[in-house]
Structure 1
Amino acid sequence: MSAGTGVILIGHGRYAEGMFSPLNMLAGIPENFAGVEYPVGMSEEALEEAVLSEIGRMQNCPSILLLTDVEGGTPFKISVKIAFENERVTAATGTNLAVLLQLAVMASGEADLARELPGVIDAARNGMKVIDVNKLRS
């Protein structure tokens, strides 16, 4: 695995698979991106081991982003715990396709994705809109 920011997407059920499918269609999945699923019946310990295993595979990455689906869930709690224990790991939550897509595009360059993440989140937040079809009709 080449150097660069590692990104591990972690979520409930088959969240990572569901997010990587459209990402692959739109931009491809960068080499340093991985997913960890948290299916029904999996223990918290097994999830933590799976995340740590992916981090181990990214040993050449100077920094790692752990991106989770929702704040407060088990993937979130484990990601925060791991980030607390490892200074090269950053945890974030509320990941959507817009965030993942922008990170994937940026991953092809030399960007430190952990440093760029706040701007990426702002861009994704600003991209969420309600479409007033009445304005379109006029």
Structure 2
Amino acid sequence: MKYVILVSHGKFANGLNDALSMLAGNREDILSVGLENGKSVDEFTALFTEKVKDISNDDDVILLGDIIGGSPYDLTCEHLAFVKNKLVLFFYIPKF
């Protein structure tokens, strides 16, 4: 199966997934998790692990993160290291 996974700080990834569902309908192959304000990295990790539990090493994954080297991105890459075919892209928060 092919998956698109969105990870971010705050509600950015979940908001983007919500907007996508308005355009394309609810899709089980698009997953999103955000490290929300006040939540710990451990809480993010537990939520992410639950979301991706059905992904196998034979699945294809497109990973979209908000900040290179940010906690959500780093933890996601660690947890998806077993996936053979993945493409990593970024959707940025502009720096002012």
Cα distance between partner residues in 2 of 1:88 and 1:42? 30
Please give the residue correspondences for 1:1-138 in structure 2 after superposition, counting only pairs within 5 Å: 4-59=1-56, 62-84=59-81, 86-88=82-84, 90=86, 92-95=88-91
Between Structure 1 and Structure 2, the one with more helix by share is 1
Cα distance between partner residues in 2 of 1:72 and 1:62? 24
Q: 1:66 touches 1:89 (CA, 8 Å); kept in 2?
A: no
Q: 2:9 touches 2:36 (CA, 8 Å); kept in 1?
A: yes
Report the Cα offset of residue 90 of structure 1: 2.9
Between Structure 1 and Structure 2, the one with more strand by share is 2
Cα distance between partner residues in 1 of 2:85 and 2:44? 16
- Structure number with greater Rg is 1
Q: 1:82 to 1:89 in 2, by over 3 A?
A: farther
Q: Could you state the TM-score of these two structures normalised by the residue count of structure 2?
A: 0.72
Cα distance between partner residues in 1 of 2:13 and 2:69? 17
Runs of 4 or more, structure 1, over 6 Å off, are none
Cα distance between partner residues in 2 of 1:72 and 1:33? 22
Q: 1:32 touches 1:58 (CA, 8 Å); kept in 2?
A: no
Q: 1:83 touches 1:91 (CA, 8 Å); kept in 2?
A: no
Deviations 1:91-129 (A, max 9, x none): 624137xxxxxxxxxxxxxxxxxxxxxxxxxxxxxxxxx
Sequence identity of aligned pairs in percent? 24
Report the Cα offset of residue 73 of structure 1: 1.1
User: Gaps spanning 5+ residues in structure 2: where?
Assistant: none
Report the Cα offset of residue 5 of structure 1: 0.8
Report the Cα offset of residue 34 of structure 1: 1.5
Aligned to 1:108: none
Cα distance between partner residues in 1 of 2:85 and 2:72? 14
